[in-house]
Chain A
Amino acid sequence: MIFALLGVASVSHYLVVGAILFSCGVVCMAVKRNALGVLMGIELVLNGANLNFVAFGSNYLAADGRSPLGLDGEVVALFVILLAAAEAAVALAITLNFYNNHATVDVDRADDLHG
C-alpha cells in the first residue's frame, strides 16, 4: 500500500527538509542578481536552520518523547525569526538606498568599492 510510506516523520526527515531549504537558499543567495532575490535566499537559509532547531527541540519527534534540547530549540528559533525580521528591515532599507543611488537593484552593479 502506498500509505505505508507515510510513517516516516522523524527528526532526520525534518533535517532533510531543512537541508533542502538551506541549499535552495544558498543557491538563491549565490545566483540571484536581484537584491531582493538575495534577501529571499537569506530568508530561506534561516528557515532551513530554524526547522532544524524546532525538530531537535520537539518532544513530539524525539524518540524517547523527550527532546535533548527542551525549550532551547524553540527559543533559539524564535530569536532567529525575530532577528530575521530585523535583518529583512535593514536589508530592505539598504536595497532601497542602493536603488536610490544606482536606479537598479542588480547587486552586480554594486561595485563602487571595487578597486
Chain B
Amino acid sequence: MNQASFGIPVSLFASVTIDWHGFFFLLFAAIACISALMVVLSDNVVRMALHLVLSLGATAGLFFLAGAEFLGAMQLMIYVGGTLVLLVFGVMLTAQTQLVSLRTPAGDRVIASILAAALLAVLVQAAFSIESWQKPGQGMVSAPTATPLGMALVGVRVDQHAEEGLLEPKGGYLLPFEIVSVHLLVVLIGAAYLARAKRRRVPRPVDLVASVDSVEPTFSGNSDTTVSGGSE
C-alpha cells in the first residue's frame, strides 16, 4: 500500500504541512479574543461571565502552548474554577431582572472603543517593534517547569540561570511567596469582614419550641390540658 493507491487527494494533501503549535495558537487566540470582545459587547451579566470563562479558558490553553503547563492548570483552577464561580455566585445573589442587564449608553461605547482602538494600536505597534520577538520560537521542548517553579517559590532557583553557573544565582521567591500567602490570609479575613452580615436577631420558631423541651410536659391520659411549658 503506498501513496499512489490513494490517488489525487493524498498527493494534494502531501504538499501541506501543519504547524500544530500555530494551529492551536490561532484557535485559542481566536477564542480568547472573540470571547473577550463578547464580554464587552454583551449586557447580560451571566453571558458576560460565560464569555469571560471561555476567554480565560482559551488563555489557559495559550499558557499550555507556551510551555507553562503549571500556570495553565493554575489558571483553569483558580480563575475559571474559582473566580468565575465566585462571580456567578455574586450574579445569582444580585439577580434581579433590572440588574442583570444594565445597558451602557451608546455614547460611552463609542468613546471607549475609540480609546481602546488607540490603546490597541499602540500595544500592537509595541509588540512588533522588536525584531527578536517576531522570530518564531525554536520549538524546543523545554523541561517541565512545575518543579523548578515550586523550588523557586521556596527559595531555590534551579532554572537555567543557575545552570549557567552564575557566580551569584538569582534569588528565589521565598519572600514574595510568604507575602502573598499572608496577603491571601488578610484578603480572606477582609472579604469575610466586608461581606459579613448585618446581624439581626431573629428567633426561629424551632428554637422557641426547642427551648420548651427542657420543661417536662405534664400531660397524662385524657385529663384536662394544662400547659406548663413555655409558649411564644
Contacts and interface: CB of A to CB of B under 8 A. Distances in A.
A43 B52 contact: yes
Contact of A70 (B87, B90, B161): B161
B40 interface: yes
A88 B87 contact: yes
Interface in A53-75: 54-55, 57-66, 70-72, 74-75
Interface residues of A, number: 82
B10 interface: no
A79 to B, nearest CB: 6
B230 interface: no
A79 B180 contact: yes
Contacts of B198: 100
Interface stretch (B1-9, B69-77, B205-213): B69-77
Contacts of A100: 198
Interface in A67-98: 70-72, 74-75, 77-79, 81-90, 92-97
B144 to A, nearest CB: 11
Given A37-B48, A81-B75, A16 B86 contact: no
Nearest to B100: A34
A26 to B, nearest CB: 6
A12 B29 CA distance: 13
B52 A75 contact: no
Interface in A28-66: 28, 30-34, 36-37, 39-41, 43-44, 47, 50-51, 54-55, 57-66
A106 B140 CA distance: 49
Interface in B39-73: 39-40, 45, 48-49, 52, 55-56, 59, 62-63, 65-68, 70-71
Contact of B78 (A74, A82, A99): A82
B137 interface: yes
A9 interface: yes
15 contacts: A1-B16, A6-B22, A17-B29, A19-B127, A32-B104, A39-B87, A40-B49, A44-B52, A51-B62, A55-B66, A59-B142, A60-B65, A65-B140, A70-B160, A82-B184
Task: Give the top 9 A-B pairs by smallest Cβ distance, nearest first.
Answer: A19-B123, A15-B127, A6-B22, A93-B194, A24-B36, A60-B67, A65-B138, A63-B135, A86-B187
